[in-house]
Amino acid sequence: MPREISAFFESYRDAFNALDGNAVAELYSEPSGIAQDGVYTYWPERKLVAQNMTALCKMYREKGFIRAAFEPRQAIDQGEKHFVADVQWLIEWDGEQAPWTFRTTYNLVRTGKGWRILLCTAYSEVSLHNASGAA
């Protein structure tokens, strides 16, 4: 994975590690979307992404979030404006909770502000939320 893409995901990870939903949302393009559990959610404006990510960070905080780490898995360079990355995540929780390991694919687009997420495909995290009782 190119260094600039790794740096983007480091910023994304850092925003989650700060549990800052607004900072996470700033790394999404406008418009953007998420595909998860067979459902596509379209976000025409970043405000809606921020609401979603703030709620997710709140859920993580309440569950006992410690930190997130990522490992690039697969990458497809699609020219200077687009990139697809499949990333494996590790989420650590406090207490005796087992960590979550899951993979997510990101379609990135280069904007005037740098790389942003155009589409997040959360294809394995849902089963973890369901198994833990999280929303």
**Residue 134 belongs to a domain:** no
Q: Summarize pLDDT for 58-68 with one digit per residue, the tens.
A: 999 999 999 99
Domain CATH code at residue 99: 3.10.450.50
**Residue 11 belongs to a domain:** yes
Q: How much is the pLDDT for 112?
A: 95
**Residue 81 belongs to a domain:** yes
**Residue 135 belongs to a domain:** no
Q: Map the chain to HEC letters.
A: CCHHHHHHHHHHHHHHHCCCHHHHHCCEEEEEEEEECCEEEEECCHHHHHHHHHHHHHHHHHHCEEEEEEEEEEEEECCCCEEEEEEEEEEEECCCCCCEEEEEEEEEEEECCEEEEEEEEECCHHHHHHHHCCC
**Residue 14 belongs to a domain:** yes
Q: How much is the pLDDT for 75?
A: 93
Q: How much is the pLDDT for 121?
A: 95
Q: How much is the pLDDT for 128?
A: 54
Q: How much is the pLDDT for 123?
A: 84
Give the range of the structural domain holding residue 37, as residue numbers without chain letter. 3-129
In the predicted model, residues of the chain with pLDDT beneath 70 are 125-135
Q: How much is the pLDDT for 90?
A: 96
Q: How much is the pLDDT for 23?
A: 98
